[in-house]
Each structure stands twice: as structure tokens, then as C-alpha cells.
Amino acid sequence: MIQFHIKSPDRTIEAAIREKIDNLTKPKGSLGRLEEFATKICLIQQTLTPELRRPHNVLFAADHGILEEGVSVSPKEVTWQQLSHFSKGGAGINFLCDQHGFRLVLVDAGVDYDIPHGHGIIDMKVRKGTRNFLHEGAMTEEEFDTCLERGAEVVADIATATGCNIISFGEMGSGNTSPSAMWMHLFTGIDLRKCIGAGAGLDNDGIRHKYDVLRKALENYAGADTDRAKMAWFGGYEMAMAVGGMLKAAELGMTVIVDGFIMTSVILAASRLYPEVMDYAIFGHQGDESGHKLMLEAMGARALLHLDLRLGEGSGAVCAYPIIESAVRMINHMDSFQSVNVTKYF
């Protein structure tokens, strides 16, 4: 298995960061969570003058065998159709990336379709969709390792080619709230029923059926009692590649903006392998999928936005970027009391 070398940021600089923020021309703490984000990014970059360079949103796409059990209203062909749509522009993530200056990187991690070359989609396909984890492992542990390696490769290439130091991840894969719910349950201990939501639009009967299928899948688990084995058995290729991408980003000292329910389950899984990855994460938004709030709470995380989004694709993370940028502008561009001869008034 690929090894990552992720170090928690040196906190020696933290007192100097706090002093700088507290001496900006404002009441102490008055810029709230902007001060929190500025501190985190300063720690990641080990500087009092951080900068955000060339933001990217990496979108991994793959299909899921569990879709055969009717756990989603979204048919399988939507995965490749939407991936093609993203490559042409005009989808939700396209306008958001355009608005906020992100480069969108599209990766075929395991779409059940032969996507023609020449559309700007990186071919990292492991297989045409995972297996049905109701009956067998969604992927082998060797395939899981391949996903980690390929996700890491995508991020390393971006960092080398562009100097990007802040990155978000999105996904496309019909039915992928089911593997995300399984990872949430397995790695938080939250009751499975509370981890399951409507996904792309299931009604109450559909949610009950989804629960029955996932409960049976859990009962049928025949893998090893390790986190890695469980990730492989119940995961998705796009999710596993995002794990590798997040871990490589942390290793390279990049800030990771975490998207919604599915990407939160991904960084949860990543943190089971390397807990230090959390030191590099900012949670962009709390989505509308019912289990997302519970998962964030279990992780001790608080999202930046709550806009009732449930689109995926990295949309919530990209929406959060301007606020993160404001935090960096605050620490870099606000005057200090001393520099402008204003009496400190708190």
C-alpha cells in the first residue's frame, strides 16, 4: 500500500499568529470564524503572511454495483452523462468554478462507459463500476490501493504543474450515498438508520428499502476486521481515489476544502488511515443529506456554510472559497493598531 508522510503543522508559530490577529484594527475576536480560518491556514503554511494559489476542484467519477438493488432514483447512465456534461461546461460545478477562479479537473475513476478520448477527462479507470457489496466486496484491497495511488498522482501532478496550494474534491456516481452511509456508520458508530438519507430524491418507502439493503449488506460482510478492508468492501472507486487525493494534498501542505456528505465520509475514512489529515481540512458546508450533520458532529467539525445543498460535485466547497479568501485577506491587508496610530479600544 502507498505510504504517505503527513505531519501535523508545527504549532510554535501559533502565538505569533494570534498576536497578529488580535492587534488588527478591530475588537478582539470580532471577525469570528475568519480568525479561525486565518489561523489554520497560517499554521498549514507556517507563515504570518499566507497566500492562496491556483485553487483546483478535482472531481472523481465512478459507478456502483449496489445500484442494482434500487437504492437510488438516479439511473447508472447519469454518471457518464454528467461527466460528459462537466467536460463541456454548463453544469452546477462549472459555473461555480468559473465564478471563483477554480480549475476543474475531471477524473474517470471507474465509470461503466467507454468515454471517448479528447474531452479533457483523465482516464484513471480501475474497472467499470464496483461490484455489488450486498453480495461481495465492492472492490478488492488491491484495487483500493490502486485508487489511493491514482488519486495521489492526480494531486501531485496538479501541485507540480501549477503550484496550487488549496484544493477541493467532488464526486459523481449514481448511488454513492449508500457507500458513504456505510463508511459513516462503520467509522463513527452512529446507528445505520441515522446515516441514511434521501440521496438524489428517494421517498420514505425508498429510504426504508435503502436501509434494508444496507443492513443486510452489513450482516453479509465477510472481510477482515480492519479499516482498510471495510473501506474496500463498501466503498466506491471515486471515493477511494479522493481518499488518496486528500492524503497527498495534506502531505504536500495544501489546504483541503471538504465538500458535502460524500466527501466528509471520505475525509473521515482518510483520517482512519492518517489522523493528521484533519489538520489540513476546512469543512466547506453542511449539506442537506440527513446524516451529514451527525457525521460532522461525530468528527468534532463545524462547517462554514449551511445552504441546504445536496448536489455534490464539490459545489459546497467551491462556494465556501470566497470566505476562506476573506480570512487570508484579513490577516494580510488589515492594518494593525500600531501601524495607523489607532488606540487599542478593547
> Secondary structure of the chain in the HEC alphabet?
CCCCCCCCCCHHHHHHHHHHHHCECCCCCCCHHHHHHHHHHHHHHCCCCCCCCCCEEEEEEECCHHHHHCCCCCCCHHHHHHHHHHHHCCCHHHHHHHHHCCEEEEEEEECCCCCCCCCCEEECCCCCCCCCCCCCCCCCHHHHHHHHHHHHHHHHHHHHHHCCCEEEEEEECCCCHHHHHHHHHHHHCCCHHHHCCCCCCCCHHHHHHHHHHHHHHHHCCCCCCCHHHHHHHHCCHHHHHHHHHHHHHHHCCCEEEECCHHHHHHHHHHHHHCHHHHHHEEECECCCCCCHHHHHHHHCCCCCECCCCCCCCCHHHHHHHHHHHHHHHHHHHCCEHHHHCCCCCC
Strands 121-123 and 255-258: unpaired
Report d(CA 47, CA 27) in Å as an integer. 23
Q: Would you say the C-alpha torsion 230, 231, 234, 237 has a positive or negative sign?
A: negative
Active-site entry in 51, 77, 313, 325: 313
- Has 289 been annotated as catalytic? no
Write the CB contacts of 305 (distance below 8 Å, at least 6 apart in sequence): 284, 285, 286, 316, 319, 320, 323
Could you list the active site residues? 313
